[in-house]
Structure 1
Amino acid sequence: MSALVDLFPPLGLRVVAGPLELRGLTDELLAELCDVAEAGIHDPDQMPFYFPWSTAPAGELSRNTAAYHWGKRSTFSPEEFSLDLAVLLDGKVIGSQGVAAKHFPVTRTGETGSWLGREFQGRGLGTVMRQAMCELLFDHLGFEEVTSAAFLDNPASLAVSRKVGYRPTTVSRLKRREGELALNQGLVLTPDTFVRLGEPVEVAGAEAVRAFIGLDAA
């Protein structure tokens, strides 16, 4: 009998960097992640995301978050995928770290995105989880480039990118909330500029994911 991880190998991913861990987003971890989102991600007058998903009413935010991840799971293919992992600190879910890619077997690039619950921000965890993710992508999943972006009024995210070694590219003018213009800084990271963690990173489950994203034969 097939296990769920056989049907969807990203569920078996595990990346450990000291007390911080990135794990495949199972339904059990997804339920915990929804609770973290409901507890708050940012101040009401701020909006760090392209699409203001985090402003949904209580209850609806959890359902939307679960539906989003279920939807991305169901449409996952090497040609277009979102690989989203739960971030845990000492075994407790505190946020999410992911990467989205198109035509990956050819392009070998993708855009990282992440968020942390408000109570876990400002402690350097965003930098560690991004470094751990990029080690997974570069060293185990065949990525040759990683991009990111952040609004200019989101200095915390831009600071994380600088610490990890991303270089700025172009600034785009985007509609954020209704009627609101926001300037979005593009960023790019390559293995030669990547600032790695100063401690070992343990990775499990990557071999099956390589086949799943079209790199190695199953």
Structure 2
Amino acid sequence: MELSPVRESDYPELADIANGGVRRDDLPAFLVNWDSGTQEEIAQSIARYQWSTRANFRVDDWTIEFTVRVDGRAVGVQGVSAKDFVRTRSVSTGSWLALNEQGKGYGTRMRQTAVTTFTDHFGASEFHSGFFEGNAASRRVSEKLGYSPNGMKTIVAQDGQARMEHQVILPAEDIRRGQDPVEVVGAEVVRRFLGLSTV
């Protein structure tokens, strides 16, 4: 498995795999209804969001999205975001997987890779995530990595309905790491990008 920052050249492939579906049983999983509609509409939603993460990037408020590849093929996207990271060392994660790639352990591995990397190379101390009631797959990924319940809140989901979201938290020292080491290339460049000392 390889995670690399989403590039514009990835957009067509990501749109193609998303067009095949990313949610089981059409259960709401996102705040924005980006994965519904025609293939063209999905492609436009992906491009707009990715452009916005770059246009709105600030050292004190950022989102970085990674294309996740297995044996060279794109299978989904893993996102990490933070506000005031230099001071809080707190990161939130979000992700999606092509429907036909689910159930293979990729969701766990990609988030495990992200939290391990941000702990070991960028000094993150805690990770936050959440899942809507009924999203068993996301809940299982969090449980496998060692997340603990951190409350609930009602928010409007992608279907326009108010739904309960379960919040979870993972202190860096509690990460359940995989057996394979995570190799990172370009960490010093990213540290400067995030406003972190490179000394």
Same fold (TM over 0.5): yes
TM-score, normalised to structure 2, is 0.94
Q: Deviations over 1:158-185 (max 9, x none)?
A: 0000001111110111222455231100
Distance 1:217-1:132 versus aligned 2 partners, 3 A rule: closer
Moved more, 35-44 or 160-169: 35-44
User: Among residues 98, 111, 118, which one is paired with 1:137 in the alignment?
Assistant: 118
CA distance in 1, matches of 2:70, 2:133: 28
CA distance in 1, matches of 2:77, 2:159: 26
Indicate if the aligned counterparts of 1:31 and 1:66 stay in contact, CA closer than 8 A.
no
Indicate if the aligned counterparts of 2:124 and 2:172 stay in contact, CA closer than 8 A.
no
Which consecutive unaligned segments of at least 5 residues does structure 1 have?
A: 1-19
Residues matched between the structures, number: 199
Indicate if the aligned counterparts of 2:33 and 2:159 stay in contact, CA closer than 8 A.
no
Per the TM alignment, residue 89 of structure 1 is displaced from its structure 2 partner at its CA by: 0.5
Aligned partner of residue 59 in structure 1, secondary structure: helix
User: Among residues 121, 132, 135, which one is paired with 2:102 in the alignment?
Assistant: 121
CA distance in 1, matches of 2:183, 2:135: 31
1:8 paired residue number = none
TM-score, normalised to structure 1, is 0.86
Which consecutive unaligned segments of at least 5 residues does structure 2 have?
A: none
Aligned partner of residue 165 in structure 2, secondary structure: strand
Distance 1:179-1:36 versus aligned 2 partners, 3 A rule: closer
| Larger RCO: 1 or 2 (CA < 8 Å, sep 6+) | 1
Indicate if the aligned counterparts of 2:14 and 2:74 stay in contact, CA closer than 8 A.
yes
Distance 1:140-1:22 versus aligned 2 partners, 3 A rule: same
Aligned partner of residue 122 in structure 1, secondary structure: coil
Distance 1:77-1:39 versus aligned 2 partners, 3 A rule: same
Per the TM alignment, residue 30 of structure 1 is displaced from its structure 2 partner at its CA by: 2.7
CA distance in 2, matches of 1:131, 1:43: 22
Per the TM alignment, residue 109 of structure 1 is displaced from its structure 2 partner at its CA by: 0.8
Amino acid at match of 1:167: S
Paired residues for 1:10-159 under 5 Å: 20-43=1-24, 45-159=26-140
2:183 paired residue number = 202
